[in-house]
């Protein structure tokens, strides 16, 4: 019987994946991830992103705490958790952060109310 064994399919960069590392990640995916397959796919992208940035790999406790924080910050909402991972990669962050809502709008409102602006100064002088 002639059996040909082909190497595993290369990933995007053309490098053969480390099967030992893949089995560790698969084990983590199967047992510890809080959401479904869409989150698992985005989590795999997050781990790949961290590897590309040459950030340290998660230790078991750090991994547990990162996932706990994602669940807490997302309000146990899978779509929000996926958005957190996407946003953190888009912004080139080292950690996982929630997208800020209306941050620019709040700044513009604050700048109009400061005494340092010319309109506020004129009003303050008129009251004086």
**Contact in structure between 29 and 43 (CB atoms under 8 Å):** yes
Q: What pLDDT, in 10s, does the model give residues 85-94?
A: 999 999 999 9
63 token code pair: 């991994």
pLDDT band per the 50, 70, 90 thresholds, residue 102: confident
Cα–Cα dist 121/72, whole Å: 44
- Planar angle of CA 106, 112, 114, nearest 5 degrees: 100
pLDDT band per the 50, 70, 90 thresholds, residue 123: confident
Cα–Cα dist 51/21, whole Å: 12
Q: What pLDDT, in 10s, does the model give residues 36-82?
A: 999 999 999 999 999 999 999 999 899 999 999 999 999 999 999 99
Domain segments of the chain as ranges: 19-109
pTM: 0.58
**Contact in structure between 89 and 45 (CB atoms under 8 Å):** yes
């Amino acid at each position: 019987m002639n059996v040909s064994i082909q190497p595993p399919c290369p990933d995007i960069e053309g490098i053969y994946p480390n099967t030992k590392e893949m089995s560790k990640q698969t084990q983590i995916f199967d047992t510890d991830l809080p959401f479904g397959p869409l989150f698992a796919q985005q989590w795999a992208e997050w781990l790949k992103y961290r590897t590309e940035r040459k950030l340290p790999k998660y230790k078991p406790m750090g991994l547990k705490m990162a996932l706990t924080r994602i669940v807490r910050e997302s309000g146990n909402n899978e779509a929000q958790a996926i958005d957190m991972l996407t946003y953190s990669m888009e912004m080139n962050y080292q950690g996982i952060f929630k997208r800020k809502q209306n941050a620019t709008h709040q700044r513009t409102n604050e700048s109009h109310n400061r005494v340092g602006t010319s309109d506020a100064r004129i009003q303050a002088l008129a009251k004086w």
